[in-house]
Amino acid sequence: MTETFDPRALAARLHSLRQACLQEATDTFALPADLYQAMQAQDLLAAADGISSNAWKVTVSPQGLAVTAPLHPYAEAVSGAAIPWYPGLKFETEIAVRLGSDLPVRAGIPYSRTEVVEAISAVYLGAELLVSAVKESGSVSFLLFVADRLGNSGYVLGPKLEKSVVDTVGGTPLKVTHAGRTIYDGPAQHPKGDVLTWLVDYANDGLRPETSLKTGALITTGTLSGAIELTEPGEIDIELGNSRLSFSVSKG
């Protein structure tokens, strides 16, 4: 659509669609022209959603730009978490890291992977839930998908893992059952091979907010199982090596 882009209007529409569990086609939206406009809309959507958790996802755009979005609703599965189920909801097994020191924006020499690892204080097994208000997700307009919080619709943080997992998780046996059926049974595989690729890319983004990647931030690092649609509510059980995470997705 060609009308002037209004980040507030886009955020309000995405919020309304999410609240109603509805999706609309990309060509019905006024699209952000650049990543700055997309992030303006995302920030306004996060405010409308009342997001206060310091938990984030990182990925990369088709043009190779590192992008981020807040995780919401966010739950820790210590006492058994429940995330709302909606038609079209997808699931990903992921590794999350918590920063024990800041990674400030810096000019000149980029952060090495080793420096990023040194800033990590803890590593966890986690699960991301995804459903976008945009029918095509990011396949038509990635910037619109960025505005829609990269499709995030929930995150469950599971048990703490050995920090070395960020180096060794590839190929680890991974089994996921949902509502009593196996939906993944194979090796853990990150799209980039290295679970820290996108975090390192984002650390080296000179245009990211000065407030990003501060001590205490939790960052999830990308799928180990692909994105799997959950066709009904039910219990999810994840086994990654000797670690386990269980929670439920349930109708609101």
221-244 pLDDT, tens digit per residue, is: 999 999 999 999 999 999 999 999
Angle between helices 35-49 and 7-19 (to 10 degrees): 50
Cβ neighbours for 52, distance < 8 A, ≥ 6 positions apart: none
How does residue 53 score in pLDDT terms, banded at 50, 70 and 90?
A: confident
pLDDT recorded at residue 77? 78
Looking at residues 40-66, what average pLDDT do you find? 92
Domain count along the chain: 1
The answer to the question of residue 220 being in a domain is yes
pLDDT of residue 79: 58
Residue 132 inside a domain? The answer is yes
pTM equals: 0.93
Determine if the peptide bond prior to 73 is cis (ω within 30°): yes
Domain assignment present for residue 88? The answer is yes
| DSSP code of residue 141 | -
Q: What is the mean pLDDT of residues 51-64?
A: 90
Distance CA 208, CA 225 (A): 28
Residue-wise pLDDT for 162-220, tens only, equals: 999 999 999 999 999 999 999 999 999 999 999 999 999 999 998 888 999 999 999 99
pLDDT tens digits, one per residue of 97-154: 999 999 999 988 999 999 999 999 999 999 999 999 999 999 999 999 999 999 999 9
Residue 23 covered by a domain? no
pLDDT of residue 66: 87
Residue-wise pLDDT tens digits, 59-87: 988 888 889 999 999 998 765 688 889 88
Pick from 208, 236, 199, 188: which is nearest to 113 by CA? Answer: 199
Residue 252 pLDDT grade (very low, low, confident, very high; cuts 50, 70, 90):
low
For residue 188, the domain's CATH number is: 3.90.850.10
10 within some domain: no
First to last CA, the chain: 33
> Does residue 86 fall inside a structural domain?
yes
Domain that holds residue 116: 52-251
Q: Is 246 domain-assigned?
A: yes
Structure-block tokens of residue 50: 């009342």
**Which tens digits make up the pLDDT trace of 1-44?**
446 899 999 999 999 999 998 999 999 999 999 999 999 999 99
Residue 66 lies in a domain: yes
